[in-house]
Amino acid sequence: MRVKKVVLDYSGLSDDELNTLVGKVLDCMTGHATFTALPLELEDFEAEVMDFRTKWQKASRGGSLLEIAEKNDAKDVLALSLKDLAFYVNKVSKGSRSLLLSSGLILEVEPKPSDVPDQVLDAKLLDGRQKGQMQVKYKPVRNALLYEYQVTNILGEDNQPVWQETFQASSSRGNIYAVTEPDQIYYLRVRARNKRGIGDWSQVASLRAR
C-alpha cells in the first residue's frame, strides 16, 4: 500500500495559491503538539511570508521588471522553505493522514489505478504480402501496455486449438506470423496486458494458409 505524503514541490502554485497556503501552514504549525522540531524557526518562516506578500503587492500593481523579479525571488525562497517543512512532516507523520492534514500542507493526490485491459475484439488472421506469412490484426485496447498473441495449426482430441508459443507486440499494427504451411488452417487468439493485470483472450480467429 502506498504511504500517504504531503506534496514536496510548491513552486508551481500561483501567487494567490501560495499566499493562501503559507497562511494556512503558519496557523497550523503554530503551537502544534507533534511538529515541534521544525527544520526552520516559525518566526523566520513568517518573515519570509511577509516579505513575499509585500513584494507581491508591489508587483501586482503594475510593478516594474525589478519588482516582479524581487517578488519571484521571494516566492522561490518560500517554496524552498515549504519543501523543507514538507519533508519533515512526511518523516514525522509516517503516513498518518490526520497528522499530514494537520500540517496545512497539500496531500499528494492518490494515483488512479488503471483497470485491467478489456477483452481484445475483432482479432483476425489475414493473408500476408508474401507466401508463408499471415497478418495478425485486432482492435487496440484502452490502457494496454502490450499485447500477447498465440497462433497454432494444431488441434487436440477435443477439436480445440493446442496453444504453444506466445508472442508479444507493443501495437495492434504490423504484426506478422511466419512461416505457415500451405492449406493448413491456423488459429489465433490475442489478449492485452498492463501493470494492473491481463485481459481475457479474444475470440478465436482462423484462416487457411495459401
CATH number at residue 139: 2.60.40.10
The angle formed by the CA atoms of residues 151, 153 and 155, to the nearest 5 degrees, is: 115
Whether 110 maps to a domain, the answer reads no
- Per-residue pLDDT band at 114 (split at 50, 70, 90): low
Whether 176 maps to a domain, the answer reads yes
pLDDT of 62 higher than 90: no
pLDDT of 112 higher than 80: no
Residue 98 sits in the same domain as residue 128: no
Contact (CB, 8 A) for 114 and 194:
yes
Q: Tell me the pTM.
A: 0.55
Residue 95 sits in the same domain as residue 129: no
Residue 138 sits in the same domain as residue 195: yes
Residue 96 sits in the same domain as residue 19: yes
Residue 130 sits in the same domain as residue 184: yes
Count: domains in the chain: 2
Overall average pLDDT of the 117-131 stretch: 93
pLDDT at site 107? 93
Residue 97 sits in the same domain as residue 162: no
Whether 155 maps to a domain, the answer reads yes
Q: What is the mean pLDDT of the chain?
A: 93
Among residues 38, 71, 102, the one where a domain terminates is: 102
pLDDT of 43 higher than 70: yes
Whether 82 maps to a domain, the answer reads yes
pLDDT at site 117? 93
Residue 54 sits in the same domain as residue 87: yes
Whether 5 maps to a domain, the answer reads no
- Cell for 187? 488459429
Q: Which domain holds residue 190?
A: 124-208
Whether 4 maps to a domain, the answer reads no
Residue 132 sits in the same domain as residue 184: yes
Length of the chain (residues): 210
By the 10 Å C-beta count (0-12 exposed, 13-18 middle, 19+ buried), 188 is classed as: buried
pLDDT of 158 higher than 90: no
End-to-end, the C-alpha distance of the chain in Å comes to 53
**Of 147, 151, 154, which Cα lies nearest the Cα of 170?**
147
pLDDT of 18 higher than 90: yes
More confident of the two residues 110 and 147: 147
Among residues 102, 136, 163, the one where a domain terminates is: 102
Residue 97 sits in the same domain as residue 135: no
Cα–Cα distances in Å, from 135 out to 20, 111, 152, 173, 174?
Answer: 59, 37, 14, 9, 7
Whether 95 maps to a domain, the answer reads yes
Q: Is the dihedral of CA 92, 96, 100, 102 positive or negative?
A: negative
Among residues 69, 102, 135, the one where a domain terminates is: 102
Contact (CB, 8 A) for 85 and 40:
yes
Whether 107 maps to a domain, the answer reads no
**Of 126, 123, 128, which Cα lies nearest the Cα of 138?**
123
CB 185: neighbour CB atoms within 10 A?
13
Cα torsion at 5, 6, 12, 15 (round to 10°)?
170
d(CA 4, CA 15): 26
d(CA 202, CA 37): 59
